[in-house]
A = this chain, B = another copy of it.
């Protein structure tokens, strides 16, 4: 039972995820999810009691999966510059909307939440991404691939630019060229200076 129950819960979360991707966060009603999941109104309430709760769990699931993918998809022995390029390429795909994502829904959700604690998922994701990039830069510097005096600050700068690009893409649209330009600029700062 608990097994079946867990399975259904996961099914609901996966379905809800697509709903959030389509409609954002605030526009999604319990009814939307009920309809998408093709279950009964009451049925949904057995598992979740609000869209907020559902979205939180969707985010958690997302998090886990992202971590997994990260682990697996990075070739162990790749060059730091390649890994960074790969990461940026992935980010680009995401913010150009080539891969449907929860960006908009997440921002909407956290606008609502006003949760500025350490357990804020966006914060955690951001911080860990900064850390990863910092490490990449550092090892790149060691190998002579990169030139950088303050890896931590540069990493953080890169992440803020990415975040700026993300919000721009969601609120006013952004061209591929514009994204490329920003990424170039950032990479040049790391490589060109000798």
Contact = CB atoms under 8 A, between A and B. Distances in A.
Interface in A158-194: 159-168, 170-173, 181-182, 185-186, 189
A182 B165 CA distance: 16
Contact of A111 (B104, B160, B189): B104
A111 B122 contact: no
Query: Secondary structure of the A side of the interface?
Result: helix
Contacts of A186: 157
Contact of A107 (B115, B156, B171, B182): B171
A126 B168 contact: yes
B107 A150 contact: no
Contacts of A166: 167
Contacts of A181: 153, 156
Contacts of A150: 185
Contacts of A126: 168, 172
Given A164-B167, A167-B167, A107 B116 contact: no
Interface in A102-158: 104, 106-108, 110-112, 115-116, 120, 122-123, 126, 150, 153-154, 156-157
Interface in A75-118: 104, 106-108, 110-112, 115-116
Interface of A: 24, 26-27, 104, 106-108, 110-112, 115-116, 120, 122-123, 126, 150, 153-154, 156-157, 159-168, 170-173, 181-182, 185-186, 189
